[in-house]
């Protein structure tokens, strides 16, 4: 069945189900000219948007539609997490070709609603339009207490740079995907389901999951936002790659930074796929992006507090990887051989031409 | 110069200027993971999204880019107006081909910012992505006091149905545009500029302006929201066409309705263009859509209050065009010849086959 068979209102009826996970935040959801929402008294409103477009952010037939929907929500949740906020509501505008199947749209919303339900977020509105290609734009609304909001501009020389989880696995997954597509070995049915666990040593599943189904670090953000004012001084999520995100914090904070490459956390699966591909996994960790881990700076002497807080609630790992410096000292990564490499867009060339 | 020459961050720098018109509402605009906004204590948050896609909502080269940007904002402002709310902030996601010119993007944002500035609305964030075609998704955030919000579902039998301004001119403009394109007579330079006044009897400019540069009825909404609780019982904006919007109010309110076709307001310009085209202008007024006038229902006996309030502040005209009835009485329009026509999607056929 095609979207053109059920029309715009048939489509909205299908979307409308299972959208409200926290009724206290929504006075009017889908169905009027605008949604009507309640913002908790005294809290700030956080708003972000990320758009995924066919052939740029995803390729039809490569990933299940559920995964496309999941990721459209995940990247927006990650932006709210990067501010130290709690996601509350979202609106979704979707552009669909008239020959799109109802199954494709059901899949997209199933993936979205899975992740929205997990975090108690309501889908309260949006737009459905015709187009010659698929595009999904999610606008996420969250809340935060003013004093808990983490901006990019608060880092100070001497602060320690930390990151949650592991980096590089999403780039490893993308590499594997491209390589299997090139060799016509790609089998869409073999990619991990949203709830499918990853077995030990199943490196393919692990890196594909990292690429298609990134986990927004909501709990980690929640812990970091509540560690006490001024402890976490700046925060950002890793969407463009560690090198780029460190640069953003330095730009906004007016600082320099150095990163110890030997401390950059890289998963066993990323290393295994990199080994097969004869790529230095550090390249993926620094420049790959789409890891959606949280990169943040903390006052020197508070690293232990962060580690203990994470450990106490059984969260994913957190690692100190470098230090904020005076702006005049520049931005550097100390490589495993002790050589210093400038943390800049051009740094990428170091790997493409040099190592391995 | 192409967008690919200046890159994403060059693009964001261009967008970033002139975005804040009301600093009191925005703690952090463009430049972090999410915008940080202030919502007035005790007020509800209104959220809506409308997406415009190339080749569906606009055709490259036909309208100036300023007009595309203007309309993307206008349709969203109109949705906030339809709730009785005040627009405060917006986020804009824009998909651009890499070969798009910097001029095209500057034009789109110039048109947006013109209308945002006029209504004191901030542009606080969004996303810029690559795509094979242009798409613009605006999410508008507004505020309203809870008791002033106008839903679609409050109409009661006996209420009078009223509409602001005139209907049909946008459809007349679209007709003229298509006809001139067909005859290869279209000249993009001859269409009205955003601030250009319309001379008397300049019907072409008037209907093209109605199509490309619709005026969201913010002042009218503001007056209607403040006329006293319960006076305006339901409200919607005319985006799909009068017949369709009356149907939405009836669906949501559980009522019927009748419309007196002789009272449906149609401008002289719309009539003139319809005359030339040998089309019944009532067809455009009922089914054309994109007029962005406000359609609302008021308690019987309060029509005079509405008319006086509009007159007192020099607003555009407002007209009583029909009445809300019990659901069992159906939805009808009384035609000029006294014949009753059912107000339904099929009603369109009455004109395409019947009159003229």
Give the whole-angstrom CA distance, residue B115 versus residue B315.
19
Tell which residue, A124, A95, A114, A137, has the closest CA to residue A3.
A95
**B127 Cβ under 8 Å from any chain A Cβ:** yes
**B289 Cβ under 8 Å from any chain A Cβ:** no
Contacts of A52 in chain B (CB under 8 A): 129
Would you call B127 and A93 a contact, using CB atoms and an 8 Å cutoff?
A: no
Q: What is the pLDDT along chain A (356 residues), one digit of tens a residue?
A: 898 888 888 888 889 899 999 999 999 999 999 999 999 999 999 999 999 999 999 998 898 999 999 999 999 999 999 999 999 999 999 999 988 999 999 999 999 999 999 999 999 999 999 999 999 999 999 999 999 999 999 999 999 999 999 999 999 999 999 999 999 999 888 888 998 888 888 999 999 999 999 999 999 999 999 888 789 999 999 999 999 999 999 999 999 999 999 999 999 999 999 999 999 999 999 999 999 999 999 999 999 999 999 999 888 799 999 999 999 999 999 999 999 999 876 566 667 543 43
**Sheet architecture: strand order including A44-53:** A122-130, A86-96, A135-144, A44-53, B35-37, B26-28
Contacts of A149 in chain B (CB under 8 A): 28, 36
Identity of the residue in A28, A33, A85 whose CB atom sits nearest the CB atom of B82 = A33
Contacts of A218 (CB under 8 A, 6+ apart): A77, A80, A81, A87, A119
Contacts of A85 in chain B (CB under 8 A): 34
Segments in A56-191 forming alpha helices (H):
65-82, 102-118, 169-182
Give the whole-angstrom CA distance, residue B40 versus residue B30.
21
User: What is the complex's ipTM, to 2 decimals?
Assistant: 0.94
**Closest chain A residue to B43, measured at CA:** A38
Contacts of A235 in chain B (CB under 8 A): 33
Contacts of A47 in chain B (CB under 8 A): 34-35, 37, 89, 91, 124-125, 139, 141
- CB A162, CB A320: distance < 8 Å: yes
Give the whole-angstrom CA distance, residue B150 versus residue B4.
45
How near does any CA of chain A get to the CA of B8, in Å? 12
Q: What is the pLDDT of residue A10?
A: 86
Q: Is the pTM of this model over 0.90?
A: yes
For residue B259, give Cα distances in angstroms to A75, B231, B254, B286: 48, 20, 17, 10
Q: What is the pLDDT of residue B348?
A: 64
Domains of chain B are: 3-147 (3.30.1330.10), 160-354 (3.90.650.10)
């Amino acid at each position: 069945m095609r979207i053109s068979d059920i029309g715009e209102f048939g489509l909205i009826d299908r979307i409308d189900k299972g959208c409200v996970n926290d009724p206290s935040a929504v006075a009017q959801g889908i169905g009027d000219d605008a949604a009507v929402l309640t913002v908790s008294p005294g809290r700030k409103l956080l708003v972000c948007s990320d758009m995924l477009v066919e052939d740029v952010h995803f390729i039809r037939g490569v990933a299940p539609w559920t995964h496309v929907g999941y990721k459209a929500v995940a990247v927006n949740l990650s932006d709210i997490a990067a501010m130290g906020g709690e996601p509350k509501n979202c609106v979704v505008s979707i552009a669909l070709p008239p020959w799109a199947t109802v199954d494709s749209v059901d899949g997209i919303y199933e993936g979205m609603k899975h992740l929205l339900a997990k975090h108690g977020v309501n889908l309260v509105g949006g737009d459905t339009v015709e187009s010659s290609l698929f595009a999904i734009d999610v606008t996420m609304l969250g809340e935060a207490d003013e004093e808990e909001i983490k901006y990019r501009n608060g880092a100070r020389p001497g602060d320690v740079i930390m990151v949650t989880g592991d980096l590089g696995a999403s780039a490893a997954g993308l590499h594997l995907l491209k390589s299997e597509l090139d060799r016509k070995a790609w089998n869409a049915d073999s990619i991990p389901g949203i709830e499918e666990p990853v077995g030990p040593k199943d490196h393919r599943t692990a890196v594909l999951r990292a690429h298609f189904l990134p986990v927004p670090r909501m709990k980690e953000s929640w812990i970091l936002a509540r560690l006490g004012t001024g402890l976490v001084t700046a925060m950002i999520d890793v969407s463009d790659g560690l090198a780029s995100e460190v640069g953003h914090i330095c730009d906004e904070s007016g600082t320099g930074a150095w990163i110890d490459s030997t401390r950059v956390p890289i998963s066993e699966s990323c290393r295994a796929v990199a080994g097969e591909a004869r790529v230095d996994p550090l390249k993926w960790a620094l420049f790959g992006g789409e890891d959606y881990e949280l990169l943040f700076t903390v006052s020197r002497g508070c690293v232990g507090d962060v580690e203990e807080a994470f450990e106490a609630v059984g969260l994913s790992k957190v690692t100190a990887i470098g230090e904020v410096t005076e702006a005049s000292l520049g931005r550097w990564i100390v490589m495993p051989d002790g050589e210093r490499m400038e943390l800049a867009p051009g740094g990428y060339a170091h790997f493409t031409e040099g190592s391995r």
